[in-house]
Amino acid sequence: MWVRRAAIRPVPSYALVPTRVLEQIEEQLAEDDDDSRQQLDDAFTRFERTQPALAERISAVLSRPLDETALALGYFLTLAIWLAFDETFDKDLQEVNETGLTSVEEALALDEQIRLADPAEAVDSDDVIAMEQPDVLAFVQEHLDAALEANANDVNVDDVHEIYRVVLIEVLALSYAVRPPSNWAALPSEFTA
Per domain, the residue ranges of the chain are 18-23+42-180
pLDDT at 4 > cutoff 80: no
pLDDT at 190 > cutoff 60: no
pLDDT at 162 > cutoff 80: yes
CB 26 within 8 A of CB 80: yes
Beta bridge partners of 178: 93
Q: Looking at residue 65, what is its pLDDT?
A: 92
Q: How confident is the model at residue 139 (pLDDT cuts 50, 70, 90)?
A: very high
Cα atoms found within 13 Å of the Cα of residue 97, Cβ hemisphere only: 1
Q: Looking at residue 127, what is its pLDDT?
A: 87
Lowest mean pLDDT among 42-51, 120-129, 155-164: 120-129
Q: Looking at residue 193, what is its pLDDT?
A: 40
Summary mean pLDDT of the chain? 87
pTM: 0.88
pLDDT digits (tens, 9 = 90+) for 95-113: 999 999 999 999 999 988 8
Q: Looking at residue 188, what is its pLDDT?
A: 47
Express the helix, strand and coil content of the chain in percent, nearest 5 each: 70, 0, 30
Q: How confident is the model at residue 84 (pLDDT cuts 50, 70, 90)?
A: very high
Cα atoms found within 13 Å of the Cα of residue 16, Cβ hemisphere only: 15
CB 171 within 8 A of CB 81: yes
pLDDT at 159 > cutoff 50: yes
What's the CA gap between 17 and 190, in Å, rounded? Answer: 30
What's the CA gap between 12 and 175, in Å, rounded? Answer: 8
pLDDT digits (tens, 9 = 90+) for 32-75: 777 777 877 888 899 999 999 999 999 999 999 999 999 989 99
CB 75 within 8 A of CB 167: no
What's the CA gap between 185 and 141, in Å, rounded? Answer: 33
Nearest residue to 173 (alpha-carbon basis) of 21, 26, 23, 57: 57
DSSP annotation of 181: P
